[in-house]
Structure 1
Amino acid sequence: MSSLQQYSTWVFDCDGVLLHSNRVKTDAFYRAAEPYGTDKARALVDYHVGNGGISRYIKFRTFLSDIVGRGQVDEEELDTLLQCYAGYVWDGLLSCEVAQGLERLRALTPQSSWLVVSGGDQAELRAVFAERGLAKYFDGGIFGSPDTKDEILSRTTESRVLRKPGVFVGDSRYDIEAARRAGLDFIFLSDWSESDYHFCDADLRLASISAIVRHLSSRCP
């Protein structure tokens, strides 16, 4: 693992890393699916938690095709579910806790580019970050679904937006797998994670953004 001061790029997941929003998303999945029955809504929540970092588009498509048993997914039905889910999520994203220490970490990494690479909807992410005054930190861009994290990391690497050495800060198994495929180091943050993956192969395991600041500050000359 490179020294934290030497990374050219920092890549951040959103939910459970920058925003305390994992529970917001989990509750929204349940509420959107509840008209199909509580058993199916719980099954969607289980699938969602077990596949953290995967986009809502994939999760609701799987819900309709496999959990509900539609087989062939009706696109209008899928769109209705997505809109319902987005409505439940929006208010929560505007009111949930923001990670402490972001401004200090940004000041400690002045030569690095910062990106958000999330499973959340890209337009929604950009609107929320603008509304909450967070967009200013992410000079490399804010990216999300419907593109996958693998697609975003590949595209930003090819365009030199993501320069190496780089580190991905995340809280899900998909985060660390995508980071490894992209040739990035990985920091696991535990405080807000819903994942039951052990992250023994993470380069660094810490509690929060504030813990990264303390770790970095203790090693600054």
Structure 2
Amino acid sequence: MPWRTTMADQAPPIDLTQYRTLIFDCDGVILNSNPIKTEAFYQAALPYGEDAARALRAYHVRNGGISRYHKFDWLLTEVVGQSEPDPEERQALLEAYAKNVWDGMLTCELDEAILELRKQTPHARWMVASGSDEQELREIFRLRGLNELFDAGIYGSPRTKEEIFSELGETNTLLRPAVFLGDSRYDAQAAQRASFTFIFVQRWSESEAAPSEQKIESCGDLVHSLGRTHL
């Protein structure tokens, strides 16, 4: 199987049966899309020069999971030197970025283990909480036939993940206890602030260090863990 790993045979099983909501980051967890977005940030910033483009690319990698809106505001204020982000320049950056990302998101590798994991967790609600633009992400998931996996919805920027968790908790869309699968330090921090269990997914991560004691290679490890907890 393409998603099979050996890590699950070495680590203690993670018992997903105790969680009522499974929350997934998209980039680096569901889709192998981190390299696509890293390059798209670089290309979008090139009109400001190669130094600015490199600076934004590095900032993006250091701050995985944070929305493009924040990152372009950082570019315009901290690198370009604007006191406030110019709305027209910000919009031009957003459009250039989205154009570079779209085709790659439709064709990049999927962690196919999530299809089996969904079958094995009928007790839990599933949702996506991503730094990607919400409307764009929903359309990509629809075109790839993935939207039906996430019965609790697909959510993204411009809201932060903390805002998403807060709003959905208030409407009982997000039921506790919940576990968040992410691939960045920001994901770990967002989970901690919301009092969720966090699992670091490391196979496609661009993070320098795993910010969690709970680590898996990919979602395939969770499939194996579920099998072991039912032995």
Q: Which residue of 1 aligns with 2:229?
A: 219
SS where residue 117 of structure 1 aligns? strand
Once the 2 structures are TM-superposed, how far is the Cα of residue 3 of structure 1 from its aligned partner? 2.7
Choose the corresponding residue for 2:206, options 166, 191, 194: 194
| Match of residue 76 from structure 2 | 64
1:84-105 deviation per Cα after TM superposition (whole angstroms, max 9, x unaligned): 1000000110010011211110
Other-structure match for 1:41? 53
Counterpart residue identity of residue 202, structure 2: S
Q: Deviation at 1:215?
A: 1.6
CA distance in 1 between counterparts of 2:225 and 2:29 reads 16
Kindly provide the amino acid, as one letter, of the partner of residue 44 in structure 1. L
Alignment check: 8 A CA contact 2:14 2:225 kept: no
Structure 1 equivalent of residue 42 of structure 2? 30
Structure 1 gap segments, 5+ residues each: none
The answer to whether structure 1 residue 153 and structure 2 residue 136 are counterparts is: no
Question: How does the TM-score come out when normalised to structure 2?
Answer: 0.92
| Regions of 4+ moved over 2 Å | none
1:185 aligns with 2:189: no
What is the TM-score when the length of structure 1 is the normalising length?
A: 0.96
Structure 2 Cα separation of the partners of residues 198 and 7 of structure 1: 22
Please tell me the root mean square deviation across aligned C-alpha atoms, in Å: 1.2
Cα shift at 1:2: 7.7
Q: What amino acid is the match of 1:20?
A: N
Q: Report the count of equivalent residues.
A: 219
3-state SS of 1:47 partner = helix
Instruction: Report the residue type matching 2:174 in the other structure.
Output: L
Distance 2:79 2:105 in 1: 27
* 1:66-215 matches, cutoff 5 A: 66-199=78-211, 201-202=212-213, 204-215=214-225
Counting aligned pairs with the same residue, the percent is: 50
- Alpha-carbon displacement from aligned partner over 1:7-43 (angstroms, at most 9, x marks no partner): 1000000000000000010000000011111111000
Alignment check: 8 A CA contact 1:2 1:165 kept = no
